[in-house]
Structure formats: structure tokens, C-alpha cells
């Protein structure tokens, strides 16, 4: 039985970074705001809804990041729980914009969250002059308060207008996209190094349209911190997951980690090392209307660069020498 350290900060670890908690808050905050409209405190929700109306397009226009939020002390506690680290292989010039592929998705994407949405691992010092943005579901930016919290961390909408805005306004912007998405999350199990990437070419087309350099990343240990129950495609649970995904845009899965007491199962992730390796940027020409052949060419180059990045670091970061990176 592995000997794990005690999870001192499990409240912040789970609640501040769990998509289902955002959904729960949606069903709590929305009715609460409407209820308050009919009380003596009606002015508070009225002012916020007015602000929400005026601020509606901000998530697609660069967001509103907060250095204070990104430097909250709680992020360092999350970092130290696993621990989470970031490894740079090449400098990123502030004179360019970058589109970064984040792999693998894992269940809760702890590595990308801690490394790119906070300053817990010192991103700004490691990559001076670079402003990171991690793209997530547009749906989250429609939830009162949650949208403000996400924007404060530098999270942006994964919508095309939001990404186009960041890649066309100034330089030094790094936009991270979790390419594998929900499909990859539902296949996330320990020791898995299979990525959904072969047919995911939209991010390459966007990079070409803006001349944004492609940056491959791989987070070792991301899939190790939770166990997931996988269901057969003909099972009712798999059909429920598919229905849930269509309705809400994200996944509902059955997973478990460790509990509060040693040796027990629960919702806490296993405290195992997570390391995000940021690869060398792949220069991309700016082509307003790239052909499919051009997209295929740079998509192939990107996959080769990602494969090389994985092979160069796998034995140093917990994978066996025979472990293969597979693309679906």
C-alpha cells in the first residue's frame, strides 16, 4: 500500500478546480440572484445583472486577468500537494504569439491549471514577456461569478472569436487548448498515453491563419492521480455519459482517488508528481486561407514534435522506456 502524505488542503483542491462544482454553483447562484430581486437586497443582484449585460463580451475580448488572484496562496498548496512542476525546453520570444496544445486532458487537468492559470510554479519568471491563457468551455462564462473567477486566472473561452482576438491583438500571447477534449477525458486511466489528436486539426488551421507558432506540451503524471471506471459502449451508463456530454458540453464520469484516511478510497487525487513539459515552438507561416494540404502538413509536424517531446522525457518522468505515445 503506497504511503501518501496527508491532504491538508483538500477543500481548495477539489472545489476550486472541478467542472461539476461550477454546474452546482450555477443551480445555486442563479435562483439565489433571482430570489434576492424580490427582497430588500434587490439592488445587489440588479447591479450585478446590469454589469453582466455590459460585460458579456469580455470573455471573448481578452478577458480580465488578475495578478492578485493568480498569486493566491492556495495555489501553492495545490502545487505542493502533488507536487506540480513545469519544465521549459526552449525560450518563447515575446515577439510572437503561440497556440499551445495541452496533452493529455486527464480528468481535471491539474497540471495545465496550476502551471498556466496561476503563478504557483513561476510561469512569468520562466517565460518572461509571455501571457498565458488556457481555453475552456464557453458555457462556464455564462455563470455569474464563476465567469469572473475564471477570467481573473487568465482562462479564456475556447470559442473561435475568443482565440482569434488573443492571437490578433499584440504579441506575447500563449493560448492553450486541451485538444483531446471530453473524449480524451473519458478514456483517462493510469498508465494511459493515448491521445485523441489525429483528426483534431482545427487548432492548426487557426495557428496558420494568425501565424501563431505551435507549442507542444505533455503533462506527465496527469492521468495517474485518479482511477476511472470505464463503461462498455452498449451499457446504460455509457449512454448516460453521452447524453450528459451533449446537454452540458462536458463529461460526467465515475472516478475515485484516495480518501481522508490512509488506505481508503475517496475523491481526493493521489499525491503523485505532475510535470508539464513545454516543448520547442514550431514556426508557422501566416496564411489567411490555408489549404487542407497545408493544414495536414503542419498537423503532421506538430504530432512529430509532440512524439519527440514525449520520447525525450518519458524515462525521466515516470514512464518506462517501452511506453509508446499513441494518437487516435
Q: Cell match 427582497: residue?
A: 39
Closest residue by Cα to residue 177 from 196, 190, 192, 194: 196
Percent with pLDDT over 90 in the chain = 61
Quick check: 11 pLDDT over 70? no
Within a domain: 30: no
Within a domain: 220: yes
Within a domain: 290: yes
Within a domain: 35: no
- Over residues 265-278, mean pLDDT: 91
pLDDT tens sequence across 159-179: 999 999 999 999 999 999 999
Specify the pLDDT at position 26.
Answer: 60
The average confidence (pLDDT) of the chain is 88
Indicate the number of domains in the chain.
1
Element (H, E) at 167: helix 160-168
Within a domain: 139: yes
CATH number of the domain residue 77 falls in = 3.40.1130
* Helix, strand or coil, per DSSP, at residue 33: helix
For residue 133, the tally of other CB atoms under 10 A from its CB is: 26
Residue of 298 and 29 predicted with greater confidence:
298
Specify the pLDDT at position 23.
Answer: 56
Element (H, E) at 229: strand 227-229
* Residue 84 backbone phi and psi in degrees, to 5: -110, 135
Specify the pLDDT at position 14.
Answer: 46
Tell how strand 274-278 and strand 213-220 pair up.
antiparallel
For residues 154 and 123, is the Cβ–Cβ distance under 8 A? no
Quick check: 247 pLDDT over 80? no
How many residues are present in the chain?
328
Quick check: 4 pLDDT over 50? no
Using the Cα atoms of residue 60, residue 64, residue 69 and residue 71 in order, give the sign of their dihedral.
positive
For residue 182, name the pLDDT band (cuts at 50, 70, 90).
confident
For residue 24, name the pLDDT band (cuts at 50, 70, 90).
low
- The 8-class DSSP code of residue 80 comes to H
Specify the pLDDT at position 236.
Answer: 86
Within a domain: 27: no
- Over residues 256-262, mean pLDDT: 82
Quick check: 311 pLDDT over 80? yes
Within a domain: 243: yes
Quick check: 146 pLDDT over 60? yes
Within a domain: 34: no
The residue segments making up the domain with residue 146 are 58-327
pLDDT tens sequence across 42-74: 898 899 889 999 999 999 999 999 999 999 998
For residue 244, name the pLDDT band (cuts at 50, 70, 90).
confident
For residue 127, the tally of other CB atoms under 10 A from its CB is: 21
Quick check: 5 pLDDT over 60? no
Quick check: 217 pLDDT over 50? yes
For residues 237 and 300, is the Cβ–Cβ distance under 8 A? no
Amino acid at each position: 500500500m503506497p504511503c501518501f502524505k496527508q491532504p491538508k488542503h483538500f477543500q481548495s483542491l477539489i472545489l476550486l478546480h472541478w467542472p461539476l462544482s461550477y454546474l452546482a454553483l450555477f443551480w445555486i447562484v442563479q435562483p439565489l440572484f433571482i430570489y434576492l430581486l424580490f427582497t430588500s437586497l434587490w439592488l445587489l443582484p440588479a447591479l450585478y445583472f446590469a454589469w453582466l449585460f455590459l460585460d458579456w463580451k469580455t470573455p471573448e475580448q481578452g478577458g480580465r486577468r488578475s495578478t492578485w488572484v493568480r498569486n493566491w496562496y492556495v495555489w501553492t498548496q495545490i502545487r505542493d500537494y502533488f507536487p506540480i512542476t513545469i519544465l521549459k525546453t526552449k525560450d518563447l520570444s515575446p515577439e510572437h504569439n503561440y497556440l499551445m496544445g495541452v496533452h493529455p486532458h486527464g480528468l481535471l487537468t491539474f497540471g495545465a491549471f496550476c502551471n498556466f492559470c496561476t503563478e504557483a510554479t513561476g510561469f512569468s519568471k520562466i517565460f518572461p514577456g509571455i501571457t498565458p491563457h488556457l481555453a475552456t468551455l464557453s458555457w462556464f462564462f455564462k455563470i455569474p461569478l464563476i465567469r469572473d473567477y475564471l477570467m481573473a486566472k487568465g482562462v479564456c473561452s475556447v470559442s473561435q472569436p475568443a482565440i482569434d482576438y488573443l492571437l490578433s491583438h499584440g504579441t506575447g500571447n500563449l493560448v492553450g487548448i486541451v485538444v483531446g477534449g471530453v473524449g480524451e477525458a473519458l478514456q483517462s486511466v493510469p498508465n494511459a498515453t493515448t491521445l485523441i489528436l489525429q483528426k483534431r486539426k482545427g487548432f492548426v488551421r487557426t495557428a496558420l491563419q494568425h501565424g501563431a507558432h505551435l507549442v507542444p506540451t505533455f503533462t506527465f503524471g496527469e492521468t495517474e492521480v485518479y482511477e476511472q471506471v470505464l463503461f462498455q459502449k452498449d451499457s446504460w451508463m455509457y449512454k448516460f455519459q453521452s447524453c450528459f456530454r451533449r446537454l452540458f458540453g462536458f463529461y460526467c464520469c465515475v472516478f475515485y482517488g484516495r480518501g481522508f484516511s490512509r488506505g481508503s478510497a475517496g475523491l481526493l487525487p493521489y499525491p503523485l508528481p505532475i510535470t508539464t513539459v513545454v516543448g520547442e515552438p514550431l514556426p508557422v507561416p501566416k496564411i489567411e486561407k490555408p489549404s487542407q494540404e497545408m493544414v495536414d502538413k503542419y498537423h503532421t509536424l506538430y504530432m512529430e514534435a509532440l512524439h519527440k517531446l514525449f520520447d525525450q522525457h518519458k524515462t525521466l518522468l515516470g514512464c518506462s522506456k517501452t511506453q509508446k505515445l499513441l494518437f487516435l
